[in-house]
Each structure stands twice: as C-alpha cells, then as structure tokens.
Structure 1
Amino acid sequence: MNEILKTIKSRRSVRAYTEQQISQEDLSTILEAATYAPSGMGLQTWHFTAIQNGAVLEELNEKIKGAFAKSDEPRLQERGHSQTYCCYYHAPTLVIVSNEPTQWWASMDCACAMQNIFLAAKSLGIGSCWINQLGQTCDDPDVRAFLTKLGIPENHRVYGCAALGYAAAAPVKEKKLAEGTVTIIK
C-alpha cells in the first residue's frame, strides 16, 4: 500500500497530548500543506492562525467557556462552569482555520484544509484532533474581540481548529467501517 493511503487509514483523533511542542519546521510544513488544499474558484480566502503560547491557549479556552456558560443548552453550560474543561485537550499547538462567511464554499474550503493539516501532521508523527468549539462561539462578543486581538480577520468566521501535538498514548481504536456507506453504480 502506498504511503498516502497508509497515512489516511492510520490517522486517528488524539485527545491526550504530551507537553512537548512541535517544531517550527513541522508547524511550517503542516501550514503549507493546509494552503495546498483546494479552494473555491482558487480564491484562497481562508486564514490560518497557529497558537503555540500556553497562556494564550488558556485564555482562549476561558473565553470559550465564558460563551458556553451563557448558553441555553445545559451540556454547554456545564462545560462553561467546569474548572477542568479544555476544548483543545491541552495540545501544545492549536491552528484556527477561518474564512469569509460570504463565500458559500467557505466551510468546504476550510474542511479540505483541515484534512490536509491532519494528514500532514500524521505523516510527521504528530497527533491531531478536530476542535469545533470555537466555531460555535466565535460570534460571542468576548470571543470575537479575542480572535481579533489574535489577528484573525474581523470579517472571518471560524470553521474549525486543529489541536496538534505528540500523543500521550498511542490511539488504539480500530476503525470500524459502517455497512452500507458506499454505493457504486455502473
């Protein structure tokens, strides 16, 4: 089997990380892979913000928890009031992927870029996990102000984040394919 297919088949979400930071070279490689994803009309309206500062990551998590605490949904309120909740699983790096919401393909462009991030990370021995919480909370005024402070364009919406780091333990979950998910018509 070729290396790309091996990478695709072996990649799993990592939700427990060591404190070891990924190198600048690996981060640059991963971000470059993101920019090679397809984009609608080739416009590349996306933006990638990589955070490797622990204090900034903690402050971002607190802003997200603050937005959750205001939610009408009990599950989100619980997360918002939790002392231990960390939306990015304490990964040492978080990449925020945003785009102009006026482009109808914005979410699809970001999803393609995120997949490239995950596959590039896996190929470098780096664990990853898709993080949704910032996409749910990016319109909260406190969260939005913080995102703007981080340099995320004010006209952008967050479509996903990638937690990146070295797995604290090897993911062992076997991939079970659901029956009936593929149809071939000839």
Structure 2
Amino acid sequence: MSEVITALLERRSIRNFKPDQIKASELETIIKAGQFAPSAANQQSWHFTVVQNSDLLTRISKAIRNIFLQSGNPAYVERAKAENFSPFYHAPTLIIVAGDQKSIAPEPDASLALGNIQLAAHALGVGSVWVHSLRQLFTSEEGQALNQELKIPEGYTIFGSAALGYNAGATPTAPPRKEGTVTTIK
C-alpha cells in the first residue's frame, strides 16, 4: 500500500498535546501541503493564519468559551464549563483557514486545504484535530476584535482550523465505518 493511502487510513484526531512547539520545518511543510490542495478553478481562495503565541491562544479560547456559554446549546454550555476548557485542546499551534467569499467555492477550498494540512501533519509525526468552533468568532464583539488581530483579510470567512502538536497520549482507534454510505452505479 502506498504511503499516501496508509496516511489516509491511519490518521486520527488527537486531543491531548504535549506543550512542546512543533518544529519550524514541520510547520513549513504542513502549510505548503495546505497550499497545494485542490481548489475550484485553481483560485487558491484560502488564507492561513498560524497562531503560536500562547497569550493569543488563551484569549481565543476565552472568547470561544464565552460564546459557548451564551449559545443556549446544552452540549456547548457543558463543554465550556470544564475547568480546563480549550477548544483546541491546548495544542501549541493553531492554523486558521479562511476563504475569500468572492471566490467560486471558498468553503470546499478551505476544507480541502485543512485535509491536506492534517494529512501532512500525520505524515510528519505531528498530531492534529479539526476545530470548527473558531467560525463562531464572528458572532461576538470580542470575537470580531480577535479576527482583526488575527489579520483575517476583509471579505474572508473562517471555515475551520487545525490544532497541531505532538501527541501526549494514546492514538485513538478508528470507529467502524458506517454501513450504507456508498452507492455504485455501473
């Protein structure tokens, strides 16, 4: 089996990270993999914001916690009440992917880039997990101010992010794949 197929089948979401920062060379390769994702009409409509500043990560976490607590969603509220809450599981690196709203398909473009980022991280021995909650930064005044600080370009929307770091625990096993998700027409 090829290394690519092996990476696709073995990558798992990691939610327990060591505090050690990932190497600059690994980050560079991971970002490059994101930049080489397929995109509609090759528009490459994404923008990557890499956050490795622990103070900024803490402020983002607090903003998301406040949004969760005020969401009215019982699952979000319960998660935000956790003493050690962090939407990105205390990972030392966060890559935020935003897309240009004027492009053909910004959300699929950003999603494909995030997929490449996570696969590249896995191939390099770096753990990752998709973090969707940063999309909600637009819903609060505090979050909008953070978007400015994160230098999200005007006209771009956050579609997701990847928390990255070295795995501090056991790698989860894959749950069984759902039945009935494939139809083949010949």
Scaled to the shorter chain, the TM-score interval is over 0.9
SS of residue in 1 equivalent to 2:129: strand
SS of residue in 1 equivalent to 2:20: coil
Q: Distance in 1 between matches of 2:77 and 2:176?
A: 33
1:171 aligns with 171
SS of residue in 1 equivalent to 2:30: helix
SS of residue in 2 equivalent to 1:138: helix
SS of residue in 2 equivalent to 1:95: strand
Q: Which TM-score applies when normalising by structure 2?
A: 0.93
SS of residue in 2 equivalent to 1:151: coil
Q: Is contact 1:68-1:137 (8 Å) kept?
A: no
Q: Distance in 2 between matches of 1:89 and 1:172?
A: 15
1:112 aligns with 112
Deviates more, 1:121-130 or 1:152-161: 152-161
Q: Distance in 2 between matches of 1:101 and 1:83?
A: 36
Residue ranges of structure 1 left out of the alignment (5+ in a row): none
Percent pairwise identity: 38
Q: Is contact 2:118-2:128 (8 Å) kept?
A: yes
Deviates more, 1:2-11 or 1:42-51: 42-51
Q: Is contact 2:137-2:147 (8 Å) kept?
A: no
2:9 aligns with 9
1:42-121 aligned within 5 A: 42-121=42-121
Aligned-residue offset at 1:113? 0.2
SS of residue in 2 equivalent to 1:162: strand
Q: Is contact 1:14-1:171 (8 Å) kept?
A: yes
Instruction: Report how many aligned residue pairs link the two structures.
Output: 186
- CA distance 1:179–1:81, change in 2 (3 Å): closer
Q: List, as ranges, runs of 4+ consecutive aligned residues in structure 1 with deviation greater than 4 Å.
A: none
Q: Is contact 2:39-2:109 (8 Å) kept?
A: yes
Deviates more, 1:22-31 or 1:38-47: 38-47
Q: Which TM-score applies when normalising by structure 1?
A: 0.93
Q: Distance in 1 between matches of 2:148 and 2:183?
A: 44
- Give the CA RMSD over aligned residues: 1.6
Q: Distance in 1 between matches of 2:83 and 2:155?
A: 32
Q: Is contact 2:67-2:136 (8 Å) kept?
A: no
Q: Is contact 1:148-1:154 (8 Å) kept?
A: no
Aligned-residue offset at 1:81? 4.6
Q: Distance in 2 between matches of 1:82 and 1:119?
A: 30
Q: Distance in 1 between matches of 2:175 and 2:67?
A: 34
Q: Distance in 1 between matches of 2:24 and 2:143?
A: 27
SS of residue in 2 equivalent to 1:27: helix
SS of residue in 1 equivalent to 2:139: coil
Q: Is contact 1:22-1:165 (8 Å) kept?
A: yes
2:138 aligns with 138
1:184 aligns with 184
Q: Distance in 1 between matches of 2:75 and 2:135?
A: 17
